[in-house]
Structure 1
Amino acid sequence: MSEPAPIERPSDLVRGPGPNEMRDPFVRQELTRATVWVGIVGAVALAVILAAPLLMIFGGVVVAAMLDGGVRLLGRILPIGRGWRLLIVVLLTLLFVVGTFTLLGVQVTQQIAQLRDTVEAQYSRATAWLTQLGVMPSGSDVGGLVRQAAGQLGRVTSWVGTAVGALTTLVFIVVLGVFFAMEPRLYERGLQWMVPTDRRPEFAVTTERMGRTLRRLLAGRLIGMAAEGVLTWLALMIGGVPMALVLGIIAGIMAFIPNIGAFITGTLMIAVGFSAGVHTGVWALATWAVVQSFDGYVVVPIVARRTVDLPPALTLSMQILLSALFGVLGLMFADPLTAMLKVALERSAEQQTRDQPTRRSNSAR
């Protein structure tokens, strides 16, 4: 029986693994790097595309933090289940909103219409005066600039400008907030499930600090909103400034947005005040200065002792950035988002400081 012929092997055969063989460590390393970069680019693109829904979800988290703060505060008085306390907080909030609009709805509606006409008239007078001085272009040029700027806002935030879109956004945010507040531990465990096992304890501590900081920050904002709104209304009513009630409501709402909100409130108050006369305008200007000083030097420092300390320049920069990117929602939630990022960065710095001795000891060995 004849032996099989030996297999011929070419002498110039290429040695080493090919690029499609995952056994090569270099190929695996480069493929891992490419996958990471592709994932980062995809995540950024997805975040830009889904910017509005993500901000709505974050708004639900903010509403849930406010409701959770009320539930925890009520728990110090009523030793009942969390579900019942949440129901009481929601009902009290609805009762306050419905009662306010029922008692003051007609008056507020009339004053809002009057405020719109007054602001438009004052704006026309101011632009005409600046045009005569040569500081500002003519009305047609201004209209063209305004239309051009409005056309550049983009499709991400264009739907927010309509009343239906704004109402729908508000309803979704509130509903999400109620669901998050009903079972916060359920969603927290879901987030922990998406984190690697060895990082879950650190993630749990970070999220707990974020929640505590967010509750304190929002509690301080609510106190500041109430104080600023009531003080503005009373001072303007005493000085005889028209539309004092609606200006007080606007001042209270805009107090949720520090820095920029105060500027918008002051502009409206001064415009309405000078529409009724020089003395009334001076009173409105003085009222705005006194209320802002009281809020900045009395209310905010007291509340800041129990909340997160955010530098004003950082807050204003984040407001400008997020409002330019995401419109009204970005402006509203810039402050809470900045506070949460600050907590995450501080926690990361603490962990790095804690791990440094371990790394030094391992390197010494």
Structure 2
Amino acid sequence: MDFKTFTQRCILVISLVIAVLLIAFGIDFFFMLFASVVLAVFLISIAVKIKSWLKIKYGLALTISVLLIVIITVGTGFLIYPSLNEQAAQMQKEIPQSINKLREHLSQTSWGKDLLKNIEDQGGIVKGNKKDIVNSATAIFSATISSFANIFVVLVIALFFAADPHLYKKGLLYLIPARAVRKADKLIHKCYETLANWLKGKFLSMGVVGVLTYIGLIVLDFPIPLVLSLIAMVLTFIPNIGPIIAMVPAMLIGLVKSPEQALYAAVLYMIVQTLESYLITPYINKKAVDLPPALTLAWQVFLGIFLGGLGLFMATPLLAIIFVLVNDLYVKDYLKKRSADLS
């Protein structure tokens, strides 16, 4: 082995070690960066549509896209704020009542009494550790401030990406050997198309879930249907796990009236989730990657454990990109070519 080859291999090993260390210690930053890319793809896809419709320059189309999103968000907020504020206050009153109702039902069974006794024992432990509670509350407050700061950073980076996507793509292609630039360019475009199609289908399915949930809650004569339907709509962004989380407050509020009402809420959410998973999303999102449900759920749980909420929200789009890369770089380029060579 000559000195040049030895040096190249040492540089490669050192680069891999540095990359692993950066990923291990800066995983939150990389996921924030990926969230910025996802948001930038959303903005770019809207701007491209407006550009083609109005026959204007991309920069002006992006400005119009951002203004439209801001106007729609703020306008919707002003329209629903009075009702939302009233229903949120009602929700704060009814959830404690539903918890007390649940305690009453549990106290009527032997296993329920044991469960309540364990909860009360935990409550005694909590009362004896007021200092820990204060520290935990301080940590939660700090985490909330940090989350808002992270969201602001994600928004700013996404705007920079969306403002000149070709600049960043060109910079990425500079890092790739000349013989692979054309293929890498096609792969970047395919990843963009995959994310754009996935986001389009996801936002449309979120809207449909919100409307169906709202109609179902109105039919069931549920209190605060607007708040519950908005929660269901937002959490639909997280496949599999999100709808289950959204069902919990609805069941608790239904329990205030009766156990049957809580059961009706569960049935409603399961029906809407079934329609969303097997009819709405497959119909809307035909061009996106078809992700296996079991693998998606396992991936969400894995990232949720290590990264919390950010991991849950970004798990599915990241898995979609991984599928594209594995399919194009490993299955098509390596496995199929190797099979052809062997045959």
Report if TM-score (shorter chain) is over 0.5. Answer: yes
Which residues of 2 match residues 252-291 of structure 1 at below 5 A? 252-291=233-272
1:77 and 2:77 are equivalent in the alignment:
no
| 2:163 aligned partner | 182
**SS at structure 1 position matched to 2:239:** coil
| 2:333 aligned partner | 351
Task: Specify which of 299, 310, 325 is matched with residue 306 of structure 2.
Answer: 325
| 1:43 aligned partner | 19
- Would the alpha carbon gap of residues 45 and 121 (structure 1) be closer, same or farther in structure 2, given more than 3 Å must change? farther
Q: Distance in 1 between matches of 2:116 and 2:150?
A: 39
Shift, 1:140, TM fit: 3.6
| Aligned length in residues | 327
| 2:70 aligned partner | 94
Q: Distance in 2 between matches of 1:234 and 1:357?
A: 54
| 1:107 aligned partner | 83
Q: What are the superposed Cα offsets for residues 208-233 of structure 1, whole Å, 9 maximum, x if unpaired?
A: 11000000001010011000011111
1:66 and 2:42 are equivalent in the alignment:
yes
Q: Which amino acid aligns with 2:314?
A: F
Task: Specify which of 190, 199, 207 is matched with residue 180 of structure 2.
Answer: 199
- Would the alpha carbon gap of residues 126 and 29 (structure 1) be closer, same or farther in structure 2, given more than 3 Å must change? farther
| 1:132 aligned partner | 113
Any conservation in 1 of the 2:238–2:313 contact (CA below 8 Å)?
Answer: yes
Q: Distance in 2 between matches of 1:160 and 1:318?
A: 29
Q: Which amino acid aligns with 2:283?
A: I
**SS at structure 2 position matched to 1:71:** helix
| 1:242 aligned partner | 223
Q: Distance in 2 between matches of 1:311 and 1:273?
A: 33
Shift, 1:125, TM fit: 5.5
Shift, 1:64, TM fit: 0.9
Structure 1: where are the runs of 5+ without partners?
1-24, 152-157
**SS at structure 1 position matched to 2:65:** helix
Q: Distance in 1 between matches of 2:124 and 2:285?
A: 43
Shift, 1:239, TM fit: 1.8
Which residues of 2 match residues 146-161 of structure 1 at below 5 A? none
Shift, 1:28, TM fit: 6.7
Shift, 1:159, TM fit: 7.5
TM-score (normalised: structure 2): 0.85
| 1:338 aligned partner | 319
- Would the alpha carbon gap of residues 282 and 325 (structure 1) be closer, same or farther in structure 2, given more than 3 Å must change? closer
Greater mean deviation of Cα atoms: 328-337 or 74-83:
74-83
Q: Which amino acid aligns with 1:265?
A: A
Any conservation in 1 of the 2:103–2:116 contact (CA below 8 Å)?
Answer: no
| 2:136 aligned partner | none
Any conservation in 2 of the 1:127–1:136 contact (CA below 8 Å)?
Answer: no
Q: Percent identity?
A: 27
**SS at structure 2 position matched to 1:77:** helix
1:300 and 2:281 are equivalent in the alignment:
yes
TM-score (normalised: structure 1): 0.80
- Would the alpha carbon gap of residues 55 and 124 (structure 1) be closer, same or farther in structure 2, given more than 3 Å must change? farther
Q: What are the superposed Cα offsets for residues 30-72 of structure 1, whole Å, 9 maximum, x if unpaired?
A: 6655554443232222112212221111111111111122123
Q: Distance in 1 between matches of 2:103 and 2:187?
A: 51
Q: Which amino acid aligns with 1:107?
A: S
- Would the alpha carbon gap of residues 115 and 44 (structure 1) be closer, same or farther in structure 2, given more than 3 Å must change? farther
Q: Which amino acid aligns with 1:197?
A: A
| 1:5 aligned partner | none
Q: Distance in 2 between matches of 1:187 and 1:127?
A: 57
- Would the alpha carbon gap of residues 73 and 261 (structure 1) be closer, same or farther in structure 2, given more than 3 Å must change? same
Any conservation in 1 of the 2:300–2:315 contact (CA below 8 Å)?
Answer: yes
Any conservation in 2 of the 1:112–1:246 contact (CA below 8 Å)?
Answer: yes
Structure 2: where are the runs of 5+ without partners?
133-138
Q: CA RMSD in A?
A: 3.0
Q: Distance in 2 between matches of 1:88 and 1:143?
A: 56
Q: What are the superposed Cα offsets for residues 185-226 of structure 1, whole Å, 9 maximum, x if unpaired?
A: 111011111222222222111111100000000101001100
Shift, 1:136, TM fit: 7.6
| 2:135 aligned partner | none
Q: Distance in 2 between matches of 1:312 and 1:195?
A: 34
Q: Which amino acid aligns with 2:26?
A: L
Q: Distance in 2 between matches of 1:57 and 1:39?
A: 21
Q: Distance in 2 between matches of 1:273 and 1:224?
A: 25
Q: Distance in 2 between matches of 1:112 and 1:143?
A: 30
